[in-house]
Chains A and B, each alone.
Chain A
């Protein structure tokens, strides 16, 4: 290899695109050519130096704006779909019905006029039912999107974003296993008390799911914050699950338990009996 061909390969070397087969010859040339070696060292120093530029994080507002935009777009798209599908149905229907000969067309018009009043009522009932189906479909899509947003926010480093994740979770009609598990994980493992408290409130909305009841009872013994414990006790009393009695009894026996929590647990036991 000449100095010219070696220098053409400098960028390949820096970016890791130098073919493995050329590496030995490349290094061999550098070992014997101080000029090429010096030039590569200079380029390599700059390339490496660029690594000091840190990766910055955008503010939480970017994520909120993106999801707001996505939801707005989806809503717009849903309306567009309803408009297009109704238009197409009407056009196809008329196209099939219209006879080719003018005399038949006039006859058909008269028949339609006579039938118009009677069918008007039926048509309105049908269009209402179509709209209901479309709205149900849209709700399902919005729900799916909310699930993605909520799970993603619950994984963020910032407590305020995780709080936002809990509040998105609470807006889901059909949470599914993934959201319930994410909320229970938040309740049991989140470092921030406010986020854990918010998770208790969100889980209250889904208490009719068996895994939620079980998770809440199980969580009672895991909590260290008196606030979260009291909130959980109130919730367990509210949903009146008998399995909670055992958990409360165990809690009351804990000697290190905060006196206020103990009082609340004892009251809870009375309310559940």
Chain B
């Protein structure tokens, strides 16, 4: 028997069977946690943000339209949750400017999430990418999203997503190269 689709489960949640959110949580919370972890570099903040996403899913469940994939809707909420988290962190800075500046304050705020110098350098390199580029790159590389879905999620056209991924990969390689002290990846 095929597993019930995410969209069907979310329709049930929308229509009042909120206990079905447990299945969606089990399917997505680890990916979502890793998405936030790569954005924030902080485990406990990432767990709080995951919790916040599911709370908002419950809160806004009646607004769910099943036309697009559930994951797209969920990551839209995840982005909003992350933006609100950034606002709390740096209330004085307009959010548009936060999107253009490096996603994390610097290497000091990044926890050593696991052993491996290579992974640590890569995380530091990712943290130097502007937030928008980093988000799009993570969604494409780790969350398995198609251009069309990322475009829908970010509210822009497919061409701009493609070129952003291209630039992000190029820029990441350059930063990584610098951090490695000149050794190409």
Contact = CB atoms under 8 A, between A and B. Distances in A.
Interface residues of B, number: 45
Contact of A11 (B33, B58, B119, B162): B162
Interface stretch (B46-54, B68-76, B91-99): B46-54
B122 to A, nearest CB: 6
A148 B22 contact: yes
B146 to A, nearest CB: 7
Interface size of A as a range:
35 or more
B2 interface: no
Interface in B144-163: 146-147, 162-163
A12 interface: yes
Nearest to B55: A69
Interface string A171-210: 0000000000000000000000000000000000000000
19 contacts: A8-B162, A11-B162, A14-B165, A15-B146, A46-B169, A46-B170, A49-B176, A50-B141, A52-B116, A53-B38, A53-B142, A54-B113, A55-B30, A58-B30, A58-B43, A62-B29, A70-B22, A70-B58, A73-B18
A53 B184 CA distance: 17
Contacts, number: 118
Contact of A69 (B16, B54, B147, B166): B54
A152 to B, nearest CB: 5
- Which 3 pairs across A and B sit closest by C-beta, in order of nearness? A145-B19, A46-B173, A58-B33
Nearest to B171: A46
Interface of A: 8, 10-12, 14-15, 17, 42-43, 45-47, 49-50, 52-59, 61-63, 65-67, 69-70, 73-74, 77, 141, 144-145, 148-149, 152
B149 to A, nearest CB: 11
